[in-house]
Amino acid sequence: MGELTKILLRILPFLVIILVLIIRVRKGKLSKDDLGIRKPETNVKAVIWCVSFFIFCILTELILFQFRLLEFKNYEFNIKISFLKIGGMVFIAPIAEELLYRGFFLTKLIQFNVNKHLAIFIIAILFVLVHSFVFDNTLSSKIGIIQIFIDATLFGYARLTTKSIYTPITMHIIGNLIATAEMYLL
């Protein structure tokens, strides 16, 4: 199987998630409110969350780098495949994952009267489990799992405090953009 096919197969599930959610909203099976599709309560809150998350990510990466806890792999890349990979990692995956986890799942748990803090914790654990296939049994991988859990928790609180899915989508894009830049630039 070629590299292009592999990338397309990795992006496809995210596109399917987005498409299914859009279709369900259009058919009236889900409301935009169920997914948090609305402007943030205040733009100031959304900006504070996003800027704070950016600073948190940069500081975390610098500290991990300082203590030599980051693992870098040299990626050889073809420009067309890299654009697809970057587009999938930086935009498509964060949009699909946030609509699904902090949009649909978090809303449903809260509608089932699960305490909002417990709901965020449950969704964060689920998020880690889904992402854990990329990790091996190294210190860097264990740190990565902790980072994903913290990020997922922050995404959940950002969603609830701004009352908009756009805030965690933006935060997720920021985090993935930083990770992608590390992959391609370091």
Task: Read off the pLDDT of residues 80-124 as tens digits, 9 standing for 90 and up.
Answer: 888 999 999 999 999 999 999 999 999 999 999 999 999 999 999
Q: At residue 55, does pLDDT exceed 90?
A: yes
Q: At residue 25, does pLDDT exceed 70?
A: yes
Q: At residue 18, does pLDDT exceed 90?
A: yes
Question: Distance (Å, rounded) from C-alpha 130 to C-alpha 138?
Answer: 18
Question: What are the start-end ranges of the E strands in 89-134?
Answer: none
Q: At residue 74, does pLDDT exceed 70?
A: no
3-class DSSP state for residue 118? helix
pLDDT of residue 21: 98
Q: At what angle do helices 166-185 and 43-66 cross, to 10 degrees?
A: 30
- pLDDT-derived band at 52 (thresholds 50, 70, 90) equals very high
Question: Distance (Å, rounded) from C-alpha 129 to C-alpha 124?
Answer: 9
pLDDT of residue 90: 97
Task: Read off the pLDDT of residues 127-186 as tens digits, 9 standing for 90 and up.
Answer: 999 998 777 888 888 999 999 999 999 999 999 999 999 999 999 999 999 999 988 877
pLDDT of residue 75: 65
| Average of per-residue pLDDT across 74-79 | 71
Q: Residue 86 class from Cβ within 10 Å (0-12 exposed, 13-18 middle, 19+ buried)?
A: middle
